[in-house]
A = this chain, B = another copy of it.
Amino acid sequence: MSVLLLNDDDVRTRLDAATAVRAVRGALLAAHEGALHAPPRIHADLGDGRLVFTAGRLCSEELFGFRAYDTLVGAEQLVAVWGSDDGRLRAVVHGDELGARRTGAIGAVAVDAAARPGEIRLGLVGAGTQAWAQLWAIRAVRRVREVAVAARRPERAQAFARRAAGELEVRVRAVRTVEEAVRDHDVVVVATNSDVPVLDADWITPGTHVTTLGPKTVARHEVPASLADRAHVLLTDSLAQATGYAEPHILPTDRLVDLGAVLAKAARGRTDPEQITVFCSVGLAGTDVAVAAALCEEVRRSA
């Protein structure tokens, strides 16, 4: 069995959202059960930047591997997967699509676990790769009735809406203000790189599930600290990573609940349709490896 070398085009055309969501859900459950080794990320200094590695080992799947990315030149990323049964390298996936899509899949698992049941109205704050990947993945867990997208530059929101219509056959409205994207939605995804809050916690309608993907430290945060006062449940995909940053978190980490524990029914998520739930996405290590392995299986099956 030769090594698969896959690029962004392969990810775009061969990875479907349901497969990514299934792989990530498996990894989150494995992490809860102690069957995923996902140590904190490590880095090597290379002068003006770093190489960063996030490694993971999925015992149940007999897989291990890592994702590597840099802060030197913003080079394309690399995910490598080995079988721990035979020690053979199975796949190398390079480019930036896989990372965003696995983050999308993590967000979708959180939506599935914590948003109110039924079809959803989705609000997106930010119109970049991360927002796109969330929409792509959420469609695998919920019927999306309508989508509103707001971006700092309105033309980007419009381009996002056109792309969604073309590629995903989803009707997306570009809206002028963040408030329009936040109010009266079942799920709100905040996917910016903003250092300061882009929304007011009071805009969030009771019953909403909010995902925050961007900065979440005291020094830099895309959501306000007051979000915690309105939220009934704060979830995260990795307690270790969420609490392991050098800078303190803008939300109270002692209230964070592990998404894997909620999936395993060992912890409670939403208990009432009027509650506000917040998912702090940090990117559980090992989920990249799980998604790359699932993609690899898909490609081999169809070969």
Contacts and interface: CB of A to CB of B under 8 A. Distances in A.
A57 B47 contact: yes
A35 to B, nearest CB: 10
A84 B92 contact: no
Interface in A25-62: 37, 39, 42-47, 51, 53, 55-57, 59
A127 to B, nearest CB: 23
Nearest to A286: B46
A81 to B, nearest CB: 10
Interface in A169-211: none
- Residue from A42, A56, A64 whose CB has the most chain B CB atoms within 10 Å: A64
Interface residues of A, number: 37
Nearest to A82: B75
Given A37-B45, A55-B51, A3 B88 contact: no
A135 to B, nearest CB: 27
Given A42-B44, A47-B57, 14 more contacts: A5-B5, A37-B46, A39-B46, A42-B43, A42-B53, A44-B53, A44-B55, A46-B55, A47-B59, A51-B64, A64-B75, A75-B89, A78-B92, A92-B94
- The 4 closest A-B CB pairs, nearest first, are A75-B87, A44-B55, A46-B57, A5-B5
